[in-house]
């Protein structure tokens, strides 16, 4: 969860941090902005999309296009129509209903998210898998099942047979990306598409010569340039608990930040806690002590996808992978009754101040 601090007045926006919008259960997040009425022209646009809220803050030294809000809504509607599993006519829903062996051409938006997903699926050894939906449903966190039940081993085995990103076949023509499936696999881009939407809005602003901005959708954030005080944007990483508290602050004048956590969406049965984050490699909810993962990347789609993958891996394996790929990563880990902070080698320069709770792991 990300909060924003400008130092020139105060605004407060409560948002829901959606980690997995395919399952229809949304995590809460808080976005805080400090600004004022003097100095640069600060324009704030907000709305509701993807079952959560979005906010765009622009520090402009020239007039903002009058139809910018309309352009933003149109871009978000286009992405929703492409990748929402809740829209029966969306591209992704049509693909999910496709017979094995049939082929379909997909849009540029879909192709972009598909390629990012496939890259990180490969790099994370399957920790990110956009075909994990049947397992999410089986464990009661998806749109088709809501009971807090423990599935049987045979049910998990059946759901595992339906997943696997390697079951999606790709063929590129001169103009199109065409995809098909070799088994009845279904896609869900919930770990990437919201971050991608942030990137699309950021690029829209840059196309309109607006280089100083903050774009946030459901807690995933991308910034560029400077805040109204002429300083880098300051983003707060929150403590993984129901009552929001800022754990650490980072300064950023360009790039994206995404956080994935397991502490808001879970159920308990017979004294055991079952997280909504399912490890696609085992078919079971994660059980390690990592409570949240924050990733900084050039694009929000990549930050979003990596945050999910590294949360699945946990802090020990996740930090090793983050260091391998030079990913600025910050993790909050449960340590008996408290939390400890662990971060990758490339994350240190983003932090304002470190204390002895922070551990750089190699």
Contact 151, 157 (CB under 8 A): no
CA-based torsion, 133, 20, 52, 196: positive or negative: negative
C-alpha–C-alpha distance, residues 330 and 345, integer Å: 10
Is residue 276 over pLDDT 80?
no
Residue 299: the pLDDT is 98
List, for residues 117-170, the tens digit of each pLDDT value: 999 999 999 999 999 888 888 877 766 655 667 888 898 998 898 889 999 999
User: How many domains does the structure of the chain reveal?
Assistant: 1
Residue 46 falls inside a structural domain: no
Residue 232: the pLDDT is 93
Residue 174 falls inside a structural domain: yes
Work out the average pLDDT over 172-182. 90
List, for residues 12-68, the tens digit of each pLDDT value: 222 223 332 322 322 222 333 333 445 679 999 999 998 899 999 999 988 999 999
In sequence order, the β-bridge partners of residue 334 are: 339
Residue 40: the pLDDT is 77
Is residue 270 over pLDDT 90?
no
Residue 47 falls inside a structural domain: no
Work out the average pLDDT over 198-217. 97
Q: Percent helix, strand and coil across the chain, each rounded to 5?
A: 30, 35, 40
| Whole-number percent of the chain with pLDDT over 90 | 56
Residue 113 falls inside a structural domain: yes
Is residue 336 over pLDDT 80?
no
| Domain CATH code at residue 103 | 1.10.3980.10
Residue 241: the pLDDT is 58
Is residue 211 over pLDDT 50?
yes
Work out the average pLDDT over 231-250. 75
Residue 149 falls inside a structural domain: yes
Residue 56: the pLDDT is 97
Contact 359, 341 (CB under 8 A): yes
Residue 119 falls inside a structural domain: yes
Residue 92 falls inside a structural domain: yes
Is residue 196 over pLDDT 90?
yes
Residue 351: the pLDDT is 77
Comparing 36-40, 56-60, 184-188, 244-248, the range with the smallest average pLDDT is 36-40
Of 106, 87, 110, 127, nearest to 197 by C-alpha is: 110
Range of the domain at 127: 81-181
How many residues does the structure list for the chain? Answer: 362
Work out the average pLDDT over 243-253. 75
Comparing 36-40, 98-102, 113-117, 204-208, the range with the smallest average pLDDT is 36-40
List, for residues 311-328, the tens digit of each pLDDT value: 999 999 999 999 999 999
Which of the 8 DSSP states describes residue 164? Answer: -
**Assessment of whether the complete model's pTM goes beyond 0.85:** no
Residue 283: the pLDDT is 86
Residue 158 falls inside a structural domain: yes
Work out the average pLDDT over 226-249. 78
- Please measure the distance between the N-terminal and C-terminal CA atoms of the chain and give it in whole angstroms: 25
Work out the average pLDDT over 77-95. 94
Chain-wide mean pLDDT for the chain?
82
Task: State the chain's maximal CA–CA distance in angstroms.
Answer: 64
| Strands 11-20 and 41-49, bridge-based pairing | unpaired
């Amino acid at each position: 969860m990300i909060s924003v601090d400008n130092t020139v007045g105060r605004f407060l926006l409560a948002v829901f941090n959606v980690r997995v919008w395919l399952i229809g259960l949304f995590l809460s997040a808080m976005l805080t902005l400090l600004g004022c009425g003097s100095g640069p022209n600060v324009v704030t646009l907000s709305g509701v999309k993807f079952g959560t809220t979005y906010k765009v803050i622009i520090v402009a030294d020239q007039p903002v296009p009058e139809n910018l809000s309309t352009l933003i809504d149109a871009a978000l509607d286009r992405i929703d129509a492409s990748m929402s599993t809740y829209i029966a006519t969306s591209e992704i829903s049509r693909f999910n209903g496709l017979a094995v062996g049939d082929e379909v051409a997909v849009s540029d938006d879909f192709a972009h998210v598909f390629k990012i997903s496939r890259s990180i699926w490969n790099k994370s050894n399957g920790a990110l898998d956009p075909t994990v939906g049947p397992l999410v449903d089986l464990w009661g966190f998806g749109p088709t099942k809501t009971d807090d039940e423990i599935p049987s081993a045979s049910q998990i085995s059946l759901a595992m047979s339906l997943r696997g990103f390697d079951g999606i076949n790709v063929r590129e023509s001169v103009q199109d990306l065409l995809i098909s499936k070799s088994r009845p696999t279904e896609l869900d881009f919930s770990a990437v598409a919201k971050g991608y939407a942030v990137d699309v809005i950021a690029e829209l602003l840059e196309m309109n010569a607006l280089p100083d901005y903050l774009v946030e959708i459901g807690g995933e954030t991308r910034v560029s340039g400077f805040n109204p005080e002429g300083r880098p944007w300051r983003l707060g990483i929150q403590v993984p608990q129901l009552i929001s508290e800022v754990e650490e602050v980072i300064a950023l004048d360009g790039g994206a930040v995404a956080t994935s956590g397991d502490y808001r969406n879970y159920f308990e049965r017979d004294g055991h806690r079952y997280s909504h984050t399912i490890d696609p490699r085992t078919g079971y909810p994660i059980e390690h002590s990592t409570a949240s993962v924050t990733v900084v990347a050039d694009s929000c789609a990549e930050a979003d996808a990596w945050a999910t993958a590294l949360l699945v891996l946990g802090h020990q394996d996740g930090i090793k992978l983050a260091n391998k790929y030079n990913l600025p990563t910050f993790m909050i880990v449960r340590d008996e009754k408290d939390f400890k902070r662990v971060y990758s080698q490339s994350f240190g320069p983003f932090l304002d101040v470190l204390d002895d709770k922070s551990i750089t792991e190699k």
